[in-house]
Homo-oligomer: A and B are copies of this chain.
Amino acid sequence: MTRPELGVCYYPEHWPEDLWADDARRMAEAGLNWVRIGEFAWTRMEPEPGKLDFGWLDRAIDTLGQAGLKVVLGTPTATPPRWMLERHPDMLAHDRQGRPRGFGSRRHYCFSHEGYREECRRIATLLGERYGRNEHVHAWQIDNEYGCHDTAISYSPAALRAFRDWLARKYQSPQALNRAWGNVFWSMDYDSFDQIGLPNLTVTEPNPAHVMDFRRFSSDQVAAFNRVQVDALRPLTDRPLLHNYMGTGPTHTDFDHFDVGADLDIATWDSYPLGFLVDRVSDRDEAFRLDFARQGDPDFQAFHHDLYRAVGRGRWWIIEQQPGPVNWAPWNPAPLPGMVRLWTWEAIAHGAEAVCYFRWRQAPFAQEQQHAGLLRPDSADAPALAEARTVAEEIAQLGEVRPALGHAALLFDYQAAWAIETQPQGSDFSYWTLTLAAYSALRRAGLSVDILHPSEDLSNHAMVLAPGLVFMDDALKARLAAHEGPVIVGPRAASRTPDFAIPVPLPPALPGLDAQVARLESLMPGLDLPLEGGGHVHRWLEEIEGDAERVIETTDGRPVLMRAGGLHYLAGWPDVAGWDRVVDHGAAEAGLETLALPEGLRFRDTETHRFAFNYAPRPVQWDGQVIQAAGVAWWEKPSV
């Protein structure tokens, strides 16, 4: 890995051409290395069908490149021009109510529409042919924020046709599908694939197996859509291909980011800590939200950094970093002074190759006119620019930052998220929220974490956590059972077969662990069960049968954490104090030292350094050192 770099998103088409050179100069002067352009500019590239205009783009790339900036060029397929709808009137996605989702903003296409896919192949090819070997174009972004605005799932006629084909390929016969789904249950059998509908607008809930297949199908369509452009660009360029994921969180799990990532070279994500605190962090109370309103959740960003490092198989960026108030959350406060620097350094400490700010100059017009940039609309410096400059200088002093292996591994599987959304059983059960709760407990203990897909090698991590892994095959179970250090799985582990049925023998059926979910219950807010020794279980508790050793119990004697050797089963959803106990137990078994960090303080270790981030809105002390609100500190890593 080379030294971390900074960058910015830029829209030359929004500004008079005579501003470009000065903008480029100021970017370079501030210490930025990268500039992303082009991803919404289809009408400028192709004002009329087939009438291409790349002259402006040639000049923009040249101007930026001459200033020493490396260009990320985006394909503009998230914003098909209005004329595209004249050619493909049926290309729109449909919402859950069955209505077309119309023109007038962005992402107005259905991933299943073959005609639009062909148009995307065409424009990507044209761009690849023109710029694939351009000396200034150092990377390519495909499309923009797949799935954002709930667009990964479409109930359109195009999606219906494709879903039937997908099912036919998977099941080969309606009878096989009927058996797999258990359609006998309410006489829901189909005689032909053409009778199968999308699982919206049914009288009461549809068969969860039906929904689960539709979720898998929808995710596959995103990956297939993306692959069309990958396939078009690969022969035309040697530069890395990336996509900018709009994070994951509880609401953006609609396609498998690992699947899309498998076809790409770098995973990048769009990090908006303040907006996400309001609309994606659902597990914390009002006081917490207010305390962190100008800093963001202390673990949300870090979780995503670790996740996308896995999605990118080690290579990842932030390609859009919030630089100030945004326009899209219910409320949009300004970050505390220092937070832009803090967010940037947190990403770098997690191994980001680059952190790019969104955007250069705040646009005074259209949808995002209240979205801050590094420049104000009047071209004056916005506060974030100084913080970016500071980071650039600090990087220059610090040099390379090599990510270290995390102390613990946390497994993450998008299919588990779909399964739980399909069948929450308790209204507040969210897979992502559960995994963030586990992750936060690891962070509160001062540990650095690697997030891994379940298929990854786990042998390098002293401790493995795998909450909520609904689907576990025998091979995965065996690998976990064979792991050297402590492994903690559950709740809901291995609770469904691939066909979305309850397996028999009952879950989790882990090798060597005598514990079986005899019954389970979801618990409304307030129906908590205290744990012997501190903490509570809330939201979810399974009744376990079996003689596995009990590590943590409720005060009325129900097992919550059980073990056989290093393999543990967690039978409920602990609260914050409960999670701390689970992590403390696992860390002790793993021989990992845990810390009692003050509220808001977080650590991340690199190969050489320990970085400390104070998310609290007040100074904290650590080891005799005061770290200011929004402060970042680093020191040589203690030898273990």
Contacts and interface: CB of A to CB of B under 8 A. Distances in A.
Interface string A460-502: 0000000000000000000000000000000000000001111
Nearest to A520: B325
Interface in A371-393: 372, 376-378, 380, 382-383
Contacts of A189: 43, 47, 81-82
Contacts of A43: 183-184, 187-189
A101 B327 CA distance: 33
Interface stretch (A311-319, A329-337, A623-631): A329-337
A178 B526 CA distance: 53
Which interface class (under 10, 10 to 19, 20 to 34, 35 or more) fits A? 35 or more
A345 B3 CA distance: 74
Contact of A203 (B108, B369, B502): B108
Interface string A511-530: 00000001111111011000
B331 A522 contact: yes
A99 B97 contact: yes
A369 to B, nearest CB: 5
B206 A427 contact: no
A366 B83 CA distance: 44
A544 B447 CA distance: 41
A619 interface: no
Given A324-B519, A504-B378, A523-B331, A181 B104 contact: no
A204 to B, nearest CB: 4
Interface stretch (A124-132, A194-202, A436-444): A194-202
Contacts of A364: 182, 501-504
A358 interface: no
Contacts of A500: 365
A520 B543 CA distance: 52
A598 interface: no
B518 A188 contact: no
A207 B105 contact: yes
Given A82-B188, A363-B185, A207 B104 contact: yes
* Chain B CB within 10 A, most for which of A103, A187, A364: A187
B102 A332 contact: no
A330 B427 contact: yes
A304 B43 CA distance: 48
A333 B185 CA distance: 24
Contacts of A182: 14, 363-366
A313 B387 CA distance: 54
Contacts of A327: 425
Contact of A208 (B47, B362, B367): B367
A87 interface: no
Contact of A332 (B98, B107, B149, B521): B521
A608 interface: no
A201 B100 contact: yes
Given A106-B186, A106-B204, A364-B503, 6 more contacts: A43-B184, A44-B187, A79-B188, A364-B501, A372-B519, A378-B505
